[in-house]
Amino acid sequence: MQGAPPLIEAVGLAKHFGGIFAVDHLDFAVFEGELVGLIGPNGSGKTTTINLLSGNLGIDAGLVRVRGQVVNGLPASGFAGVGIGRTFQITQLFGRMSVLENMLVPGLARPHAVKRAVVREARQHLEFLGLASLESLAAKNLSGGQQKLLELGRALMLRPAILFLDEPFAGVNPYLRDQIIGFVKVLHEAGRTFVIVDHDLDAIQRLVRRLVVMSRGKKIADGSLATVRENRDVIKAYSGT
Amino acid sequence: MLDYLLAQTVNGLVIGVLFALIATGLTIIFSILKVVNFAHGELYMMGGYFAYYVISWFALPPLPAVLAAMAISFAFAVMVERGLLTPLYSPTIERKADYGILITFGLSVFLRNIAIILFGPFPLRPPSFFAGDLVVGGVIVSYDRLVAAGVGLLLLGGLIFFLNRTVWGQALNAVSQSRESASIIGINSQRIYMLAFGLGGALAGGAGALIAPIYSLSPSMGLVPDTQAFVIVILGGLGSVSGTIISALLLGVAQNLFIAFLPDPSRGPSYANAFGLGIMMLVLLFRPTGIFGRQHVAMD
Amino acid sequence: MRAFDWALLLLLAAFAAVFPFLVDAYWLHVMIVAMMFAIMAASWALLAGYAGQFSFGHMGFVAVGGYTAGILATAAGVPLPLGMLAGVVASALAGVLIGWTCLRMSGPYLAIFTMAFSEVLRITVVTEVEVTGGAGGMTVPQLFHAATDFPYYYLILALLIVSVGGMMLVVASRWGLFFRAIRENEQAAAAAGVKVTRFRIIAFALTSSIAGLAGAFYAPYIGILTPDVASQDQMGLVVAMAIVGGMESLPGAVAGAIAVEFMVEALRSYGEWRLVLFGALLLVTMRFARNGLITPAWLRFRGFASPRAAQLAKEGVR
């Protein structure tokens, strides 16, 4: 893995709203097979960073490279096409489409997708996530937890190289939290790369080995759990304003 | 030539004031109810007819008839709101924005057709406010237009006062910003919605009543002002009453000058409305999300 | 599809084939008009109900189709079938243009913009009297020179089957999934890899060309083309048909169009009141039966024949 370009890399990434930099010239790289946690106090720019790296928001300055290739100008569907999957803070499902259909959309959006194979793949993922029996239900009728899992499944259908999870543990009961942690672990061991944004430091620590901390749009720490925990800037950022 | 331009400008301002009445009504309705009222032009049309019939049945003089028409328009708008728009606030309806569009669109078609039945398809004209014209130098403006503009300005002034200085007005402001927070501090949102829609209807109806002696009434007279109101509201920014008023005046003048400057005089008036629409299409194209006030139209 | 569906379809086809022999000329005319509107309503339902693009400019595309065919036929002497084809192409291009300009709009903005497009078109047609005949209308030559309307009937029947059948195939395909995904949540659709830009334009181009087809038929059949075809009142009629039938069902829209058109004609003796009636019907349907009147009734009926479809529908899957 050494010598290979990072799976995804942000160089001098910047985004401003009005006069404020939500993301302030950020350098950030994730290599294949990693499981990175992205944390920081509220307003530090974590979700904006994810939005920039998944193409949901336009970049004001800087570059995003996927396996060495610049992907800046692409629309969100283009980012998905190069293997970037994500989930949203507030689940964004296709409410009036069935669970299976939700899974089929990204599957069939892939070039040269064959329906029968995609359906099989979708059912496999649903089985894995424990949602198989809900296949015909309209997505809006699922419970909150089931919806979160469905969104994860939908992202998996992209066959993503990297998965950004935006606050997967927000407002989630402990049972579901453990379920999600379990799923992520299994998927990671199978070779997927993850970047997880969340405030639930406990859950994050159970999963990740590398932690990136942001504050006010800048990266203030990037390293192993141990080093980041000792970092004075991090402590200041969390306890300060 | 200068006199002609001046006359056109004055006429443009008069029209602009009336546009402003209609457009601010639309703005207020959108601000509070979060719905784009496609039937707004028809509320304007009904107001004009209300004035006409109040004058012919009860022999009310024209100016008080305007006020009566506004009151009737208010009541009528409230009825519409209670009858058709309440699903917008209930949690059970999905896709509220679409519902709002379709139901007000349907209402506009319905009202246009019912107007043909009730009032007949031929133009009607209520008596003038004051007969005669004002002549200043080479510029001639009818008294009717001056009265319409004057009363219109008074109404606009009253509206601004109402919104900024009275309790109900401030309640409206609060709800437009945040429905939930407003209900937390005890504002009864149901009453606010009725008030907002009624107010919008009253303003539009008032404009209709004021314009009736000038241009006469017909069941489809609401179509053009409807689209003009959208143009203005998009130009001026939703949620901003003052922005709406200013762009209304600007559009009124610009449109009249457009007619004046178009080389082919026979096409001018016909294309005048297309001009406004074209401007709106351009605005929607280049600043689609930023123009409509502070937030995107989303029900949740 | 189950045996029941096939049987029903066969019955319907047989009925449609012999219909002209069963009724007099007046009702045949009504059916032809109804089928024309059915094409307009179904294509609007695809655009608004399935793809979520609430366009009030649909009749503008109908006008483009009709006037292109008409102008080419009268001014340039182009044979009508060719002119009609040109009309379809022209409206497809218009659809691409409008779809492209509307890419960053949704909801009310899209509705207003498309309404403005239709109005600008209508105003232009009214004003440019030399080219279009203005408000008085433009006479268009006939397509067939038979004694009856039979040829027109079979033509519009074929057009209806082809266009609605084609649209149903699209809806059942992955394109249909993408349209619905865009309708449900555009942001999520993009994150799921759906090329939103492409499919929004496709939705417009597809439905506008079908609308243009209806317009191209309308011109020679009625023989006179007026700018009113692009009026908001006509748009309202088409919207009402789709809503009454069920906005998210193509066969529903067709059924709605036929039902409304026949109702409008049957109540002709009431004069203007029937328009008020159908306007009220539209409002009541929207207010109390948002899935239309015909579709739920049909689904309940069909529930006896296809439990799975009923199950999906009951779940709220659209």
Instruction: Give pLDDT, residue B239.
Output: 62
Closest CA in chain A for residue C184? A94
Q: Domain residue spans in chain C?
A: 3-315
Q: Kindly report the CATH number that applies to the domain delimited by B2-297.
A: 1.10.3470
Radius of gyration of chain B (CA): 19
Q: Provide the terminal-to-terminal Cα distance of chain A, rounded to the nearest Å.
A: 40
More confident residue, B242 or A104: A104
Secondary element (H or E) of residue A26:
strand A20-30
With CB atoms and an 8 Å threshold, state whether B281 touches C276: no
pTM listed for this prediction? 0.89
- The two tokens of residue A200 are 């639930």
| B141, B152 Cβ separation under 8 angstroms | no
Instruction: Give pLDDT, residue B290.
Output: 40
Tokens 């331009």 locate to B5
Q: What are the residues facing A61 on neighbouring strands?
A: A14
More confident residue, A5 or B158: B158
User: Could you write out the DSSP letters of every residue in B251-296?
Assistant: HHHHHHHHHHH-S-TTTHHHHHHHHHHHHHHHHHHHSHHHHSSSS-
Secondary element (H or E) of residue A178:
helix A174-189
CA-wise closest residue to C43 among C269, C250, C188, C273: C250
- How far off is chain B from A20, nearest CA to CA, in Å? 18
Q: Which of C191, C193, C196 sits opposite A110 (nearest CB)?
A: C193
| A63, A11 Cβ separation under 8 angstroms | yes
Residue C221 predicted with pLDDT over 60:
yes
With CB atoms and an 8 Å threshold, state whether C239 touches B277: no
More confident residue, A186 or A68: A186
Chain B residues within 8 Å of chain A (Cβ atoms): 94
- How far off is chain A from B289, nearest CA to CA, in Å? 15
- Judging contacts by C-beta atoms under 8 Å, the chain A residues touching residue C181 are 94, 97, 105
CA-wise closest residue to A115 among C122, C174, C136: C174
Secondary element (H or E) of residue C198:
helix C196-222
- Mean pLDDT value across residues C22-46: 94
Q: Cα–chain-centroid distance for residue A126?
A: 19
Q: Which of A93-107, A146-160, B175-189, C206-220 has the lowest mean pLDDT?
A: B175-189
More confident residue, C180 or C247: C180
Residue A53 predicted with pLDDT over 70:
yes
Q: Kindly report the CATH number that applies to the domain delimited by C3-315.
A: 1.10.3470
Residue B103 predicted with pLDDT over 80:
yes
Q: What is the pLDDT of residues A6-26, one digit of tens each?
A: 889 888 898 888 788 888 888
With CB atoms and an 8 Å threshold, state whether B110 touches C123: no
Q: Which of A77, A106, A154 sits opposite C195 (nearest CB)?
A: A77
- Judging contacts by C-beta atoms under 8 Å, the chain B residues touching residue A91 are none
Instruction: Give pLDDT, residue B297.
Output: 31
More confident residue, C279 or C284: C284
| Preferred mutation among C104, C173, C184 to probe A, highest tally of A CBs within 10 A | C184
Instruction: Give pLDDT, residue B296.
Output: 32
- Mean pLDDT value across residues A181-209: 91
Distance CA B118, CA B120 (A): 6
| Preferred mutation among A50, A56, A97 to probe C, highest tally of C CBs within 10 A | A97
Q: Which of A1-5, B100-104, B289-293, C113-117 has the lowest mean pLDDT?
A: B289-293
Q: What are phi and psi of C51, to 5 degrees?
A: -95, -5
Instruction: Give pLDDT, residue B292.
Output: 41
Residue C70 predicted with pLDDT over 80:
yes
Residue A220 predicted with pLDDT over 90:
no
CA-wise closest residue to B195 among B46, B39, B31: B31
Q: Which of B84, B98, B277 sits opposite C119 (nearest CB)?
A: B277
pLDDT class for B164, splitting at 50, 70, 90? confident
Residue B125 predicted with pLDDT over 80:
yes
Closest CA in chain C for residue A108? C174
| Chain A neighbors (3+ CB pairs < 8 Å) | B, C
User: Could you write out the DSSP letters of every residue in B211-232?
Assistant: HHHHH-B-TTTTHHHHHHHHHH
| Preferred mutation among C286, C315, C318 to probe B, highest tally of B CBs within 10 A | C286
- The two tokens of residue C113 are 């913009």
Q: Which of B65-69, B114-118, B259-263, C220-224 has the lowest mean pLDDT?
A: B259-263
Cβ contacts of B73 within 8 Å, gap of 6 or more: B43, B46, B47, B50, B201, B202, B204, B205, B206, B208
Mean pLDDT of chain C: 88
Q: Work out whether strand A84-87 and strand A162-166 pair parallel, antiparallel, or are unpaired.
A: parallel
Instruction: Give pLDDT, residue C198.
Output: 94
- How far off is chain B from C140, nearest CA to CA, in Å? 25
Residue B294 predicted with pLDDT over 50:
no
pLDDT class for B264, splitting at 50, 70, 90? low
Instruction: Give pLDDT, residue B180.
Output: 65
- How far off is chain C from A215, nearest CA to CA, in Å? 26
Residue B111 predicted with pLDDT over 90:
yes
| Preferred mutation among A84, A94, A152 to probe C, highest tally of C CBs within 10 A | A94
pLDDT class for B179, splitting at 50, 70, 90? low
Instruction: Give pLDDT, residue C84.
Output: 93
SS3 B131: coil
Instruction: Give pLDDT, residue B257.
Output: 78
Instruction: Give pLDDT, residue B300.
Output: 22
For chain B, positions 30-49, list CB contacts with chain C under 8 A.
Answer: 36, 38
- Mean pLDDT value across residues C192-219: 95
Q: Domain residue spans in chain B?
A: 2-297
Q: List the strands of the sheet with A61-66, edge to edge.
A: A20-30, A8-17, A61-66, A69-70
- Mean pLDDT value across residues B6-14: 83
Q: What is the pLDDT of residues C157-167, one digit of tens each?
A: 999 999 999 99
Q: What is the pLDDT of residues C286-307, one digit of tens each?
A: 888 777 777 777 777 766 556 6
Q: What is the pLDDT of residues B200-228, one digit of tens each?
A: 999 999 999 998 888 888 888 888 788 78
SS3 C206: helix
More confident residue, C316 or A25: A25
- The two tokens of residue C135 are 């408000």
pLDDT class for B170, splitting at 50, 70, 90? confident
Instruction: Give pLDDT, residue C233.
Output: 85
Distance CA B253, CA B273 (A): 13
Q: How many CB pairs under 8 A join A and B?
A: 3
Q: Which of B80-94, C130-144, C207-221 has the lowest mean pLDDT?
A: B80-94
